[in-house]
Chain A
Amino acid sequence: MNEILKINHLTKTYHTLEKETVAVEDFSMDLKEGEFIAIVGPSGCGKSTILSILSGLEEKTSGDIFFKDQQIGYMLQSDALFDWLTILENCLLGLKIRGEITEEKKNYVISLLKKYGLGEFLDSYPSHLSGGMRQRVALIRTLSTKPDILLMDEPFSALDYQSRLAISEDVYKILKEEKKSLIMVTHDIAEAISICSKVIVLSSRPCKVKKVFSIHLTDGSTPILNRKTIEFPIYYDQIWKEIDYES
């Protein structure tokens, strides 16, 4: 697989009146085409900062980021759907902002909505959808601009356990079918192992790479089936031990 993203020695420092806080220190990783990578670490360690820098929302302090002509899509922690827009209008928001709405792109978005079970809700409003459906809409909104790399910041954390399982299954299927690459930030070890082929464990703040796990599961077809493999609890145990939960 081709390498499409490379991060070298990324550092991010925040400045306040009281102090200087290093959020990310000497973070390096690379992402190959079609690869799913999870970044896990204790809460508040600075995981989300990495995604914010990659998506261009924040400036890095030092280090290098190399993209290979890739488009980036960022899926936030909350679905952030606009209540006053219909589901279709929500999904077209990115294209509207970029001034890229064409009949072809609109049809692509409609086809995604129909393909992933939201066809009958095109003209509905977000308040009529369940939490899981809203997350699916948020994902399709992110996919509307046809990004090559998806950044997901704890995308399922607002959902209950059952919905999380169901939506992670859906998201996995959608991203595989649409041939996307993924960098996902999560504090849920099980989610990371079941979805991704590589798990990067970060230390507590300032976050540094503590250990990288390459995940090889015997089944590997869907996240739920992945959870049932014999390797799953072994990886879980190993990653659990690496995370500084006490901090």
Chain B
Amino acid sequence: MSPEQKKYLKTIKKKKVLILFLQVFLLVFLLGLWQIAADLDLINTFIFSSPSRVMKTIISLYQDGSLFHHLWVTFYETVFSFLLGTFLGIFIATILWWFRLLAKVLEPYFTVLNSLPKVALGPIILIWFGASIHSIIFMAMLISVVVAILNIYQGFQSVDSEKIKLMRSFHAKKWQICMYLIFPSNRENIMATLKLNISMCLIGV
């Protein structure tokens, strides 16, 4: 390896370390600022709490053995609603891509559904499913599924028309265009939607 290459790699490594350091520093700084603001009564600790109080609560939950139970329930609800929202999102987006007429008919409904604050539907969902894990999962799924449908469907529609033309020139059937072109060319878009969906599900849960 040439000295120039060694120097270049060293610079890259230094930059990575600096970024990590600044990220950790920022976290510590913000937590410190929060704690100081709480100690000096600059913020209402009843509403904003403080890092030390959060820590104390975590320790007490751990000591009475309920911490991991709560973590597991949140994890379970998030994962379940995430999977449900994702698969349903991909499935409905595929149906919309397949049936253009249906997509046209449903377009205004999806726009309304997307702009609707889903959390506002909470009371209705509670009446439907009762105060149980089902209503939480449904709420989280509802929040994530609309975003998933719209993102994935938009990705499906923006596939290069030349590639579709190419497949049609080989007399490809619609399912072949879907399996060989639409899904693979949207893998990055689907992955980005999945990442977004996890946070959406956490909001719902």
Contacts and interface: CB of A to CB of B under 8 A. Distances in A.
Interface in B157-205: 160, 162-163, 165-172, 176, 180-181, 184-185, 187
Contact of A84 (B166, B169, B170, B187): B187
B170 A76 contact: no
Q: Is the interface of A mostly helix, strand, loop or mixed?
A: loop
Contacts, number: 44
B163 to A, nearest CB: 5
Contact of B166 (A56, A76, A83, A96): A76
A56 B187 CA distance: 30
A86 to B, nearest CB: 13
Chain B interface size band reads 10 to 19
Given A93-B180, A97-B176, A97-B180, A80 B170 contact: no
A145 B167 CA distance: 13
Contacts of A73: 169
A98 B170 contact: yes
Interface string A27-46: 00000000000000000000
B94 to A, nearest CB: 18
In the A-B complex, list the 9 residue pairs whose CB atoms are closest, starting with the nearest: A74-B169, A94-B170, A97-B170, A80-B166, A97-B172, A80-B162, A80-B163, A78-B162, A84-B184
Interface of B: 160, 162-163, 165-172, 176, 180-181, 184-185, 187
18 contacts: A57-B165, A57-B168, A74-B166, A74-B169, A77-B162, A78-B160, A78-B162, A80-B165, A82-B163, A82-B180, A82-B185, A93-B167, A93-B180, A94-B170, A96-B180, A97-B167, A97-B171, A97-B176
